[in-house]
Amino acid sequence: MRPFLSHPFDDDKLKEECGIFGVIGVADAANFVALGLHALQHRGQEAGGIVSYDPVEGFNNAKRFGYVRDNFTKADVMATLPGSLAIGHVRYSTAGTKGATAIRDVQPFFGEFAIGGCAIAHNGNLTNAAQLRKELIGRGAIFQSSSDSECIIHLMARSMQKTLSERIKDALRAVEGAFSVVAMTRTKLIGVRDPLGVRPLVLGKIGDGYALSSETCALDIIGAEFVREIAPGEMVVIENGTVTSSHPFAPAKGRFCIFEHVYFSRPDSILGGRSVYETRRQIGVELAREAPVEADLVCPVPDSGTPAAIGFAAESGIPFGMGIIRNQYMGRTFIEPTEQIRNMGVRLKLNVNRALIKGKRVILVDDSVVRGTTSRKIKDMILDAGAAEVHFRIASPPTAWPCFYGVDTPERAKLLAATMSEEEMRDWIGVDSLKFVSLDGLYRAVGEAQGRDPKAPQYCDACFSGQYPVAPSDQIAQGFEMKAAE
Amino acid sequence: MRPFLSHPFDDDKLKEECGIFGVIGVADAANFVALGLHALQHRGQEAGGIVSYDPVEGFNNAKRFGYVRDNFTKADVMATLPGSLAIGHVRYSTAGTKGATAIRDVQPFFGEFAIGGCAIAHNGNLTNAAQLRKELIGRGAIFQSSSDSECIIHLMARSMQKTLSERIKDALRAVEGAFSVVAMTRTKLIGVRDPLGVRPLVLGKIGDGYALSSETCALDIIGAEFVREIAPGEMVVIENGTVTSSHPFAPAKGRFCIFEHVYFSRPDSILGGRSVYETRRQIGVELAREAPVEADLVCPVPDSGTPAAIGFAAESGIPFGMGIIRNQYMGRTFIEPTEQIRNMGVRLKLNVNRALIKGKRVILVDDSVVRGTTSRKIKDMILDAGAAEVHFRIASPPTAWPCFYGVDTPERAKLLAATMSEEEMRDWIGVDSLKFVSLDGLYRAVGEAQGRDPKAPQYCDACFSGQYPVAPSDQIAQGFEMKAAE
Amino acid sequence: MRPFLSHPFDDDKLKEECGIFGVIGVADAANFVALGLHALQHRGQEAGGIVSYDPVEGFNNAKRFGYVRDNFTKADVMATLPGSLAIGHVRYSTAGTKGATAIRDVQPFFGEFAIGGCAIAHNGNLTNAAQLRKELIGRGAIFQSSSDSECIIHLMARSMQKTLSERIKDALRAVEGAFSVVAMTRTKLIGVRDPLGVRPLVLGKIGDGYALSSETCALDIIGAEFVREIAPGEMVVIENGTVTSSHPFAPAKGRFCIFEHVYFSRPDSILGGRSVYETRRQIGVELAREAPVEADLVCPVPDSGTPAAIGFAAESGIPFGMGIIRNQYMGRTFIEPTEQIRNMGVRLKLNVNRALIKGKRVILVDDSVVRGTTSRKIKDMILDAGAAEVHFRIASPPTAWPCFYGVDTPERAKLLAATMSEEEMRDWIGVDSLKFVSLDGLYRAVGEAQGRDPKAPQYCDACFSGQYPVAPSDQIAQGFEMKAAE
Amino acid sequence: MRPFLSHPFDDDKLKEECGIFGVIGVADAANFVALGLHALQHRGQEAGGIVSYDPVEGFNNAKRFGYVRDNFTKADVMATLPGSLAIGHVRYSTAGTKGATAIRDVQPFFGEFAIGGCAIAHNGNLTNAAQLRKELIGRGAIFQSSSDSECIIHLMARSMQKTLSERIKDALRAVEGAFSVVAMTRTKLIGVRDPLGVRPLVLGKIGDGYALSSETCALDIIGAEFVREIAPGEMVVIENGTVTSSHPFAPAKGRFCIFEHVYFSRPDSILGGRSVYETRRQIGVELAREAPVEADLVCPVPDSGTPAAIGFAAESGIPFGMGIIRNQYMGRTFIEPTEQIRNMGVRLKLNVNRALIKGKRVILVDDSVVRGTTSRKIKDMILDAGAAEVHFRIASPPTAWPCFYGVDTPERAKLLAATMSEEEMRDWIGVDSLKFVSLDGLYRAVGEAQGRDPKAPQYCDACFSGQYPVAPSDQIAQGFEMKAAE
């Protein structure tokens, strides 16, 4: 039933928990949503769902575990999703949910209200969901999922507003945290970003219709034209070919997630007017300036380290080469693996290009270090292949704090950088040198020429700085200790 | 049942039809074979099979459609394959076979002979299989598969030799064409290469045991040490920790398949003492020398064009950049795709990094051109993204002749280079320039400083030159016309 | 996904929509529930669900389409249902639900309330569910299923009572119609029957624990001792080995469904203190008295007509014989049948014992006639086999009115007896004679020596009489016309 | 993959191992074969296969584990089996075969010979198969299955005859044992029975075409007219609407399997000109005469004991009643059952009709006793329900010898009657009386007014008498001891 039972090898990356996509005004809208979700698969690989609306067939939905391409490409599935309006969602399911019930947690969620039906899909995380949930249950709400996003539906059900879009505003004003939302009624496609705009959401135009997407790469796949980003705190309602914008929240300065640039988003997406690929390449340039080292080869840890490695090589003049080869047939996961397979770890996914590495001083460029376990294994592989020296260069600052805004992070104690200095990390991983790009270097790479503004940081960088733009109240209630003010 | 029903997007590459792997003298040998086949998955993605032998449980086998990682990692499947001796096979199934019967065509094949059981797996193609099959049926053989490789089993059954290894020799002396074979009896692991050594086969050592593999990358994954290549025309019999070599065929000069260097083999494998990655990088260097062009960006067609693009960029001094991004969640195929999906073509797999490409003169480096259809689509994508110029550089000579030695090639009339000159191809694809590396340039890149020896070519290059080292007799009987002598 | 897509051959029986079972105070309670549901499979064959509770693992559930024996016997499924308290449900899904969402409609339903979790399973039908649903949605309830039974959960959520059993009372006092309910909290197993006791519910004792079941046959299978029926209007709460009884509703005289005796219940169950088998046999005796005919053979329409045929044969002295043989390998349904299969109809399920039938005057005894289509086909088969005469005797009065209390009946216009007299039916079916047992004869067979009390009928016999003990208000709102008072 | 992994509850019946069916001269012949096999499902429930031939599409086949109705009713499967000529087979797989390979053992088998293709399906057992197999392997044959029937294909391949029907004769003259065979070439449907005619085979006419079937009930389902039985030792070849008969074997007196009448065949089939139902009813009459007992109720062990119970009741004047009710939703088997399910045994399948049994002296009529384990459990159930006395009457003589002609029997030591006298059996089962019909009584019931002819028995009754009409040479070679001459 559930194709993804274990993740033995990917525990060393932060994981975006969701991608969202919606389209209105095109025939067979669900097919476009499926394509869009396929392009957003990197934001959530475990399950996907699509809701469509057709005047005759009403609202329909399909939810499946597994890749979009394995489910939402099938004619029999897509035939159940007619209509010219549809939204969808891909998700990475968090550890706590149990097998048998988890399909219920797959979005979009749907509510049949007295004033009509509404489906909603959400990227982000509500930091007061536990409190809201408790309160809603006390008032008679029956929750069907373990997902915090279901709160939004119940808040809408209790709103006294006469239109669904007003009810969405009511509901979202009650929640805290980070959220980008796509929703649909029988006639409207709706998009909203939280006041800080932590998670991305973009608007595209396709024929006479419109699309909303987490990233621009998903507009490309359906041949939609990129119109603009939805602004932090903005709501757009698209109906009959018209886009209406409103601003339901108190005004605030945006704090977009800087880790979207570092790792989450696809390199061919454009965020905040900048190419992600170019930003990553530029991080490599910054790294080469901040942490140069004499070596024979700049080698990316594939595939996410590649743009920064290209930048590092170009800036340093050291040749770029593919010293580590990725097995293209390696899915993320195995079903019921044997013990032996479980123990193979990273070797199933990566192999060293021994002839290239042998005898060389190698600079390995990776995007981030989370637990550090994979870094250690890669170092072992490189040394086994006969490298003379191994230098790690990391295209992000040390990840020392958990994210509460829609990213799956280990508890703080398991983050290598939360418990070790850079030197201790270097020794633990066992390399000749280890350097992270500075927070200012990262800000420069995303285009802030003056680096980070410590008074009013331009981005959410809580995972690096420990400065949370929205106090995570549920987590604090459960004992999480915020960083002491400096 | 059969997960791979159509291949809408990959019709523009030549396809290796098989990978083989065997191991003896290690506990749970089938697990090692599964890992080896996983590393060889690029040689055949449609189905795989493993046979193991255990003194108590006898010979056992499992055959499955789909990826190795989806089948031969499961504890319940692997539990049916006990023993310290096992061989396996991955295959790309050719078009002709029908769904219901095709699992029979999955190797290894097994024969129970009067003198004991023997399993055999084969990479290559027998060019006199049709004749042999007809003759064997006339003598009472019942074929169970449509695979030509089954002839070997029936030839063995009719051999009067007293040992299975002698019967294998008898059988292989009767066949023509290209073959690398791994076979197993109750006590022996056997490897053989045809007299010309067209297909690869290497020997590795693991603990007290040994492994045979199509490529060295599969030795790496199990932690085996690469010992040496099996020589053209050599047979090795491994029993009780001892490797015995013999040469059952008339001596001949080797003619290894040069396309293994160009595309089939993994870049981290070592063929003929050379790193495949380094050879491909060197082809890029040769290309940059032979066909320079002024441009702003060297961009690989991912992933196979990357090493050559790195070489081209290094030699030409033009910056290397990832102008085309590959969707990592794109499998090769879809099950029952909708019409809309079918029409999406290459866009499902590749997206242009628009911000990088825009306004630039782009050199696209690809490994080969077969039908040319994908090249055309990629060119369209690049131009749509605003490239100023598009120059194609191909890291192999024009592919103008079909392969009959174990590679799935379109019929000759569908090979672009069989019907057009380089200029016609350039116009048909619609690019500013199109250049292929010369045959001599390719030979230089694989280490032949003097280029190709026209009197006695060092490799099999029939797909480029039309000079077939073994006359394809079945195909000639069916009307294939060899190239006229020059 | 959904194993049961069509029902080409069984459209000519009324169908019970549910069976319910619960057990408390035994290890691995879910296994007992699975066995009980297997014994109740005739009450609902399309899907089943089980919820269990364990102090450590909390509430767990599994829902599956298909037979109990194909799902809830598997070790991997049952391992997800730990604990010593569990309830379950089998259902026949009504026509309206759509494939993708229907698993949501499978009971038990579960609600997490502020005062704890509660699961509930329901046999029957609520005749004011549409009104309740509308009202609840207006007050902010989010329905997850198309099942009317979900109303009960939402009514409980809105109750202000401090205990879950009091909330169940609140909820059930608000509903109208027929219902037998089993429910569970973390510590209690609860059973309730509606004031008229239309649907059955019995109490059994197993070891130190207790079981609740739709029928006694399900107590037999787990080796439980039959204690007593739950009385109409009674609620039992079982906790810590103690059964506490209460009567939450206004007192009323019971009106048990008489069709349970005729067809729904299993012949080895005991209802109202009477063996169902014996009652059916006695109906045959009454029929033989009321509608004798000279003939050579009394032949049941298998399997439901067998007990009445035995009674008819014994009373009439005409030999009993199996003139129609049932194919034991005929499931109820096919997945995607070919057209030819679809057209085979009843022949796939039944075959005539030609040698026995030939030349004989045959009395066919069937339990009921709904649309009459199957009766016609059986008559054709019997005549084709050479019967001299065919006489139909039906072990129930003409079914002329739909049931709104938990039975799937065709709309009234499709009930043969709603539009034809007995003689018209005889001619339409094409038999030599057709007789139904009288309503009084049926009452005598169930033990009412004086027959039916027209002032205060002892049973619900609305399907025969058109006299509905509870006005079906939703249906009346949708245009259903009650029988005019006589 | 394999739906039937265990048979916890059916180990107490002999099992027919095969049913065969073929049809020629009708459009979509495979659909008719599927229907025929569905009607023959009782002869083999574990797997089925169909081969069809179409002039354009050639020979095609499909083989599946599981019921015919679950596989060969699906449009996608049947679409792969075009043509107006097809044969099929259902089988009960014997214990020895291993999961992964067993689909190979499913018939029909197919051979591509120099003179054309031929498919063959076989009901029965070859008693010299082991010797033949060894000899064929020595001569170079490669066996693909563990099925003895594959010998026939290899014998055909080695025959020098010019036509396939002559090759079939050659092959069948070389085998010993019991066999009914249907075979097909591109133009012919062929049927053969062994010289003794141990297994049944009948000819039917459908439209302009013909059908061959193990039993007449399968002719009924497709609407074919029963023409005649194929005679012992006869071969029929049907081509272009003409049936040609020949007699390839030395003449012999027929010895049809008497157990087909007792249990294997369906009651609605006609064997040797007699209704099976009528024969079984008559066995009950004989039993009532041979072994009368005072009692209150004659109760069949469902379903196979029913006809004999009807006969016993009619003859004795004791009322017939259904004291044991069968669960209609009980398939034969479970997939991976839990331990608890495994221990439930017969209770999952049968329940006592307690109200009917209580206080009564009950005569239980069953068709046969094999190991006796089920008889014991049924006795327990009947006594638990309060029966005053239990008398077993068995509608066959004691089963004391294994069958080697196509029936799955336990080894001799496990047959209750092989080690105990009738009285010992009565005590071991624990009933008030136990009586078997005499061998002469059985012969009288099948129409032999004088009973069994001890000099030249009219039937094969080896399972009762130990007199084997064909010496089982393979089994003797393995140590089986024939009964000493009397």
Q: Which of 3.30.450.40, 3.40.190.10, 3.40.50.2020, 2.60.120.10 is the CATH number of A271-477?
A: 3.40.50.2020
DSSP state of D291: S
Among B144, B155, B335, pick the best mutation site for testing chain D contact (most D Cβ within 10 A): B144
Across B240-360, the runs of DSSP E, i.e. the strands, are 242-246, 256-257, 270-271, 274-275, 297-300, 324-326, 350-352
Among B52, B142, B149, pick the best mutation site for testing chain D contact (most D Cβ within 10 A): B142
A299 is in an annotated binding site: no
Longest CA–CA span in chain D (Å) reads 72
The predicted pLDDT at position B96 comes to 38
Instruction: Identify whether the C-beta of residue D28 lies closer than 8 Å to the C-beta of residue D73.
Output: no
- Which one of C60, C139, C144 has the shortest CB-CB distance to A144? C144
Question: What residues does each domain of chain A span?
Answer: 15-254, 271-477
Question: pLDDT of A186-233, one tens digit each?
Answer: 999 999 999 999 999 999 999 999 999 999 999 999 999 999 999 999
Among B325, B377, B446, pick the best mutation site for testing chain A contact (most A Cβ within 10 A): B325
- The mean per-residue pLDDT over the stretch A78-87 comes to 96
Is pLDDT at D356 greater than 70 in this prediction?
Answer: yes
Residue of C nearest to D326 (CA): C268
How big is the CA angle at C32 (ends C27 and C38), to the nearest 5 degrees?
165
Q: D118-153: buried (b, 16+ CB within 10 Å) or exposed (e) per residue? A: bbbbbbbbbbbbbebbebbbeebbbbbbbbbbbbbb
Tell me chain D's radius of gyration from C-alpha atoms: 23
The predicted pLDDT at position A104 comes to 81
Residue with tokens 């797959």: A106
Q: pLDDT 10s digit of each residue in chain C, 486 long?
A: 222 323 334 457 777 789 999 999 999 999 999 999 999 999 998 899 999 999 999 999 999 988 898 899 888 899 999 999 999 999 986 533 434 446 788 999 999 999 999 999 999 999 999 999 999 999 999 998 888 889 999 999 999 999 999 999 999 999 999 999 999 999 999 999 999 999 999 999 999 999 999 999 999 999 999 999 999 999 999 999 999 999 999 999 999 999 999 999 999 999 999 999 999 999 999 999 999 999 999 999 998 999 999 999 999 999 999 999 998 887 655 555 566 666 677 788 899 999 999 999 999 999 999 999 899 999 999 999 999 999 999 999 999 999 999 988 888 889 999 999 999 999 999 999 999 999 999 999 999 999 999 999 999 999 999 999 999 999 999 889 888 765
A118 is in an annotated binding site: no
The predicted pLDDT at position D45 comes to 87
Cα(D242)–Cα(C79) distance, integer angstroms: 60
Encoded amino acid at B78, one letter: M
A217 is in an annotated binding site: no
Question: pLDDT of B399-441, one tens digit each?
Answer: 999 999 998 888 888 999 999 999 999 999 999 999 999 999 9
Residue of A nearest to C155 (CA): A140
**Distance (Å) from the C-alpha of residue B219 to the closest C-alpha of chain D?**
28
The predicted pLDDT at position B340 comes to 66
Q: Which residues contact D160 (CB under 8 A, 6 or more apart)?
A: none
Top-confidence residue, D149 or B416: B416
- Which helix (H) or strand (E) covers residue B37, if one does? helix B29-39
Question: pLDDT of D8-28, one tens digit each?
Answer: 344 577 777 899 999 999 999
The predicted pLDDT at position C337 comes to 59
**Distance (Å) from the C-alpha of residue B140 to the closest C-alpha of chain A?**
42
A near D: at least 3 beta-carbon pairs less than 8 Å apart: no
Is pLDDT at A137 greater than 70 in this prediction?
Answer: yes
Structural domain D275-446, CATH architecture: 3-Layer(aba) Sandwich (3.40)
- Which one of A100, A138, A139 has the shortest CB-CB distance to C80? A100
C274-467 domain in CATH 3.40.50.2020? yes
Chain C residues within an 8 Å CB radius of A158: 140
3 state DSSP class of A120: strand
Say if the Cβ atoms of D112 and B142 lie within 8 Å: yes
pLDDT band at A402 (very low <50, low <70, confident <90, very high): very high
Among D50, D120, D142, pick the best mutation site for testing chain B contact (most B Cβ within 10 A): D142
Structure tokens at A270: 């454009």
What is the CATH class of B279-451?
alpha beta
- Which one of B80, B141, B143 has the shortest CB-CB distance to D99? B80
Is pLDDT at D113 greater than 50 in this prediction?
Answer: yes
Structure tokens at C406: 């938990």
**Distance (Å) from the C-alpha of residue B73 to the closest C-alpha of chain A?**
5
Say if the Cβ atoms of A142 and C112 lie within 8 Å: yes
Cα(D329)–Cα(D323) distance, integer angstroms: 18
* Number of helices followed by number of strands (H, E) in chain A: 18, 25
Task: List binding-site positions of D for [4Fe-4S] cluster.
Answer: 257, 403, 460, 463
Chain A residues within an 8 Å CB radius of B329: 38, 41-42, 45, 67-69
Task: List binding-site positions of C.
Answer: 257, 304, 366-367, 403, 460, 463
Could you tell me the sign of the dihedral formed by the alpha carbons of C79, C81, C82, C85, in that order?
A: negative
Say if the Cβ atoms of B329 and A67 lie within 8 Å: yes
Question: pLDDT of D382-430, one tens digit each?
Answer: 999 999 999 999 999 999 999 999 988 888 889 999 999 999 999 999 9
| Domain pair A15-254 / A271-477, same fold | no
Say if the Cβ atoms of D99 and B113 lie within 8 Å: no
- Which one of B35, B320, B336 has the shortest CB-CB distance to A310? B320
Q: For chain B, list the contacting chains (3+ Cβ pairs, <8 Å).
A: A, D
Q: Crossing angle for the helix pair C306-316 and C276-290, nearest 10 degrees? A: 50
Q: Which of 3.60.20.10, 3.40.50.300, 3.40.50.20, 1.10.760.10 is the CATH number of C15-254?
A: 3.60.20.10
DSSP state of D334: B
Question: pLDDT of B323-342, one tens digit each?
Answer: 999 988 876 555 555 666 66
Say if the Cβ atoms of A268 and B354 lie within 8 Å: yes
Chain B residues within an 8 Å CB radius of D144: 142, 144
Q: What is the pTM of this model?
A: 0.87
Across D188-282, the runs of DSSP E, i.e. the strands, are 189-193, 202-206, 209-213, 225-229, 235-239, 242-246, 256-257, 270-271, 274-275
Cα(C444)–Cα(C451) distance, integer angstroms: 5
Say if the Cβ atoms of C69 and D319 lie within 8 Å: no
Residue of B nearest to A339 (CA): B75
Q: For chain C, list the contacting chains (3+ Cβ pairs, <8 Å).
A: A, D
Say if the Cβ atoms of A60 and C141 lie within 8 Å: no
Top-confidence residue, B308 or B97: B308
| Mean pLDDT over the full length of chain D | 91
**Distance (Å) from the C-alpha of residue D158 to the closest C-alpha of chain B?**
5
Beta-strand relationship, A389-394 and A433-436: parallel
pLDDT band at A411 (very low <50, low <70, confident <90, very high): confident
A2-16, A55-69, A266-280, B59-73: least confidently modelled range: A2-16
3 state DSSP class of A159: coil
Of A184, A186, A182, A120, whose CA–CA distance to A154 is shortest?
A: A120
The predicted pLDDT at position C450 comes to 95
Say if the Cβ atoms of A114 and C134 lie within 8 Å: yes
Say if the Cβ atoms of C112 and A80 lie within 8 Å: no
Question: pLDDT of C366-408, one tens digit each?
Answer: 999 999 989 999 999 999 999 999 999 999 999 999 999 998 8
**Distance (Å) from the C-alpha of residue B190 to the closest C-alpha of chain D?**
20
The predicted pLDDT at position C332 comes to 52
* Number of helices followed by number of strands (H, E) in chain B: 18, 25
- Candidate list A18, A118, A217, A299, residue with the active-site label: A18
Ranges of H-type helices in B305-438: 306-316, 339-344, 354-357, 373-384, 416-419, 422-429
